[in-house]
Structure 1
Amino acid sequence: MSAPLTVVILAAGLGTRMKSKKAKVLHRAGGLTLAEHVVRRALELTSPDRVCVVTGHQAEAVESTLSPYRVRFARQTEQRGTGHALLCCREALASQDGLLLVLYGDTPLLSRQTLEDLVAEQRDNEYTAATLITTELDNPFGYGRILTDSEGNVRAIVEEKVATEEEKKIRQINSGIYCFRAPLLWKHLGELHPNPTTNEIFLTDIVEALGRHGYAVGAFPVSDSSELLGINTRVELAAADTLLRRRKVEELMLAGVTVEKPETVTVDAGVEVGQDTVIEAFAQLLGATRIGADCHVGACSILCDATLGDQVEVLPFTMVNASHLDDGAHVGPYARLRLDNHVGAGARIGNFVELKKTHLGPGSKAMHLAYLGDASVGAKANIGAGTITCNYDGTSKHGTNIGDGCFVGSNSTLVAPLSLGAGSYIGAGSVITNSVPEKALGLGRSKQVVKEGWVEARTKKG
Structure 2
Amino acid sequence: MTSSTDSLKPTSSRSCLAIVLAAGEGTRMKSGKPKVLHQVANRSMVGHVLATLAKAGATSVAAVIGPDRDDVAREVQKNFPEARIFVQKDRLGTAHAVLSAREALDQGADDVIIAFGDTPLVLAETFAKLRAPLAQGAGVVAMGFYAKDPNGYGRFITAGDQLLAIREHKDASESEREITLCNGGLMAVRGDLALALLDRVRNDNAKGEYYLTDIVEIARALGHRTDIVVVPEDEVHGVNDRAQIAAAERIIQERLRQEAMASGVTLIAPETVFFSYDTQLGQDVVVEPHVVFGPGVVVEEGAVVHSFSHLEGTRIASGAGVGPFARLRPGASIGPKAKVGNFVEIKNTEVGAGAKVSHLTYLGDASIGAEVNIGAGTITCNYDGFGKYRTEVGEGAFVGSNSSLVAPVTIGKGAFVGSGSVITDNIPDNALGLGRGRQIVKEGWALEFREKAQAAKKK
**Does structure 2 retain, via aligned residues, the 8 Å contact 1:130–1:218?**
yes
Q: TM-score, normalised by structure 1?
A: 0.88
Which amino acid is 2:106 matched to? A
Equivalent residue runs for 1:117-266 within 5 Å: 117-124=129-136, 126=137, 128-149=138-159, 151-195=160-204, 198-222=207-231, 224-266=232-274
Matched, 1:30 2:41: yes
TM-fit CA distance, 1:453: 5.6
CA–CA distance in 1 between the matches of 2:353 and 2:243? 44
**Does structure 2 retain, via aligned residues, the 8 Å contact 1:23–1:58?**
no
Q: 1:119-170 CA distances to partner (integer Å, 9 max, x unpaired)?
A: 212322x1x3111111222321111111123x53222222222222111111
- Identify the range of structure 1 (266-275 vs 414-423) with the bigger mean alpha-carbon deviation: 414-423
Distance 1:133 1:45, change over 3 A: same
Structure 2 counterpart of 1:385: none
TM-fit CA distance, 1:23: 0.8
Which amino acid is 1:176 matched to? G
Structure 1 counterpart of 2:103: 91
Structure 2 counterpart of 1:21: 32
Compute the RMSD of aligned alpha carbons.
2.4
Q: 1:309 aligns with which of 307, 314, 317?
A: 317
Q: TM-score, normalised by structure 2?
A: 0.88
CA–CA distance in 2 between the matches of 1:219 and 1:397? 59
**Does structure 1 retain, via aligned residues, the 8 Å contact 2:49–2:120?**
yes
- Identify the range of structure 1 (197-206 vs 154-163) with the bigger mean alpha-carbon deviation: 197-206
- Identify the range of structure 1 (426-435 vs 99-108) with the bigger mean alpha-carbon deviation: 426-435
User: How many corresponding residue pairs?
Assistant: 439
Which amino acid is 2:252 matched to? L
TM-fit CA distance, 1:452: 4.7
Distance 1:201 1:459, change over 3 A: closer
CA–CA distance in 2 between the matches of 1:424 and 1:136? 69
Q: 1:332 aligns with which of 334, 341, 345?
A: 341
CA–CA distance in 1 between the matches of 2:168 and 2:186? 16
Q: 1:12-56 CA distances to partner (integer Å, 9 max, x unpaired)?
A: 112222222111111111221111111111001225x51222111
TM-fit CA distance, 1:420: 4.0
Structure 2 counterpart of 1:375: none
Distance 1:138 1:94, change over 3 A: same
Which amino acid is 1:87 matched to? L
- Identify the range of structure 1 (188-197 vs 209-218) with the bigger mean alpha-carbon deviation: 188-197
TM-fit CA distance, 1:346: 1.2
TM-fit CA distance, 1:195: 4.7
Distance 1:170 1:261, change over 3 A: same
**Does structure 2 retain, via aligned residues, the 8 Å contact 1:334–1:351?**
yes
Q: 1:51 aligns with which of 45, 52, 61?
A: 61
CA–CA distance in 1 between the matches of 2:187 and 2:357? 54
Equivalent residue runs for 1:316-355 within 5 Å: 316-322=324-330, 323-337=332-346, 339-355=347-363
**Does structure 2 retain, via aligned residues, the 8 Å contact 1:32–1:269?**
yes
**Does structure 2 retain, via aligned residues, the 8 Å contact 1:30–1:242?**
no
Among all aligned residue pairs of Structure 1 and Structure 2, give the percentage whose two residues are the same amino acid.
33
Structure 1 counterpart of 2:88: 76
CA–CA distance in 1 between the matches of 2:449 and 2:100? 91
Which amino acid is 2:201 matched to? L
Which amino acid is 1:194 matched to? N
